[in-house]
Amino acid sequence: MTQNDRLSGSSSWIDLEFVERERTPKPAIEVGIRLHLAGLSLSNTKRELEKLGVERSRTAIHNWVQKADLQPTSDTIPNQIAVDETVIRVNGERCWLYAAVNPATNEFLHVRLFQTLTTQFTLLFFRELHEKQQVEQATFLVDGAHHLQAALTRLGLRFQYVRHGNRNRVERVFREVKRRTSSFSNAFRNAELETAESWLQAFAVWHNSCQT
C-alpha cells in the first residue's frame, strides 16, 4: 500500500473532539491516525509527520488513536453475520479476539478482546452486538464451536453452521489482523488488554472506511 493509498479517502470516521487539549493541528492528527492504522509503525508514522513539519513522539501518536475512541459501526442491516474468534498475543499472553463481519460489505460490525474463551464472554459479545446493530432477522454464520452456538441459542438468534462460503470473509479479515498484530508486536508490549482492544477497534474502523 502506497502512502497516497493510506491518505486517500474521507477522514469523517475520525472523531477529533479530544483535540481541544492537543497542540497539534487537526489535519496532522488525522494523517497520523490514518498512517498508523493503515500499516505504518509508530516510528515510521513519526518520520512521515516530520516530513510535514510536525514533530511528535511515538507515544503521542499512540495516544491519538486511543483518545479518538474509534468503534466500528455500520448503517447497513445485515442479512447474514459471519462470526468467529481467533488467538492473538498481548504482552506475550494468549487473548481471544472476537469479530462479527457483514459478508455482504466486508465490514466489521463489532470487535472485542477477552483474556479467556467462555460462553459468558461470548454472550456478552453478542449482547453488545445486538445493542449496536439490528440483528433479529440476521442469520449468524458460525463454525462448529459450541460456545458460539450455545450463546446464540440462549439469545434466540438464528445461526447456520458453515465451514466455507460467506463465513470465509471473517477468516480473511482475521488473517489481515494477525499479519498486522504480528508486525506490530512491539505495539502490544507492556500494553493493557483494554489498550490492545482499543487499537484493534480503531483498526476495524479504518478497515470499514476502506470498504466504502
110 pLDDT band (50/70/90 cuts)? very high
- Regarding whether 137 and 40 lie in a shared domain, the answer is no
- Regarding whether 155 and 54 lie in a shared domain, the answer is no
Each residue of 39-89: pLDDT tens digit? 788 889 999 999 989 999 999 998 898 888 888 888 888 999 999 888 888
**Helix axes of 58-68 and 193-211: crossing angle, nearest 10 degrees:** 70
What is residue 80's predicted lDDT score, i.e. its pLDDT? Answer: 93
- Regarding whether 84 and 63 lie in a shared domain, the answer is no
- Which are the contacts of 205, defined by CB distance < 8 A and separation ≥ 6? 13, 37, 70, 71, 72, 73, 108
- Domain tally, the chain: 2
- Regarding whether 139 and 106 lie in a shared domain, the answer is yes
Each residue of 184-212: pLDDT tens digit? 555 566 678 888 898 899 989 988 888 76
Print the domain residue range for 21.
Answer: 3-68
- As a whole number, mean pLDDT of residues 114-128 equals 95
Q: pTM for this one? A: 0.82
Average pLDDT, the chain: 84
What is residue 11's predicted lDDT score, i.e. its pLDDT? Answer: 57
* 159 belongs to a structural domain: yes
* 88 belongs to a structural domain: yes
Of 164, 146, 158, 177, residue with least CA distance to 37:
177
- Regarding whether 140 and 49 lie in a shared domain, the answer is no
Each residue of 139-188: pLDDT tens digit? 999 988 899 999 999 999 999 988 776 767 777 777 777 777 666 555 56
- Regarding whether 181 and 86 lie in a shared domain, the answer is yes
